[in-house]
Amino acid sequence: MSLLAVDVGLRFGLALYGADGRLVWYRSQHLGNRTRLRRAVHGLLAELPDLAWMALEGGGAIADLWAHEAAKRGVRVLQVGAERWRRELLLPREQRSGADAKANADRVARDVIAWSGAKAPTSLRHDAAEAILVGLWACAQVGLLDGLPAALRAH
């Protein structure tokens, strides 16, 4: 059983979590248009036969595309706004502006990568960093983790 987190957009971040609630892999992609995105979503989900959950940050037609493909495969979907997961993973002072929130999301995402034992990034785009944090938040919501790991909670 796994969980895929997506920071929705034509340029999107992905983060896959395993049944133990730890990050398996993460990446960022840019597909340029909805037709290419639709094909990519179909192919990506076909490669994840044990996918049980999908967490989407964002809404609109592109999020609907992900949710529709998930529904066809019996994958349960959580949709969340950035303000919700940021409240639990970032301190108020770390999210005073969008730029602050993105910089601090990068820092916390790197902590999640290390905590999970996932491959360290040579670079980390903000959409992949946010997908990592959406995924961590979602793992706690669906019970893959018993709450957020103490080392990763906002304090």
pLDDT at 151: 67
pLDDT at 76: 97
The gap from C-alpha 108 to its chain's centroid, in whole angstroms, comes to 13
Where in 18-155 does DSSP place strands (E)? Answer: 23-30, 51-57, 76-80
Q: Output DSSP code: residue 10.
A: S
pLDDT at 155: 42
pLDDT at 153: 60
Q: Output DSSP code: residue 133.
A: H
Where in the chain does DSSP place strands (E)? Answer: 2-7, 11-17, 23-30, 51-57, 76-80
pLDDT at 154: 56
- Angle at which helices 98-116 and 82-89 cross, to 10°: 60
pTM for this structure? 0.92
What residues pair up with 9 in beta bridges, in sequence order?
none
Sorted by where each starts, the structural domains of the chain and their CATH numbers stand as 2-152 (3.30.420.10)
Tell me if residue 47 falls in helix, strand or coil.
Answer: coil
Q: Determine the Cα–Cα distance for residues 39 and 44; give it in Å rounded to an integer.
A: 9
Q: Please list the rounded mean pLDDT of every run of 10 residues in the chain (155 residues).
A: 94 95 95 89 93 95 94 95 86 84 87 91 90 95 86 59
pLDDT at 67: 96
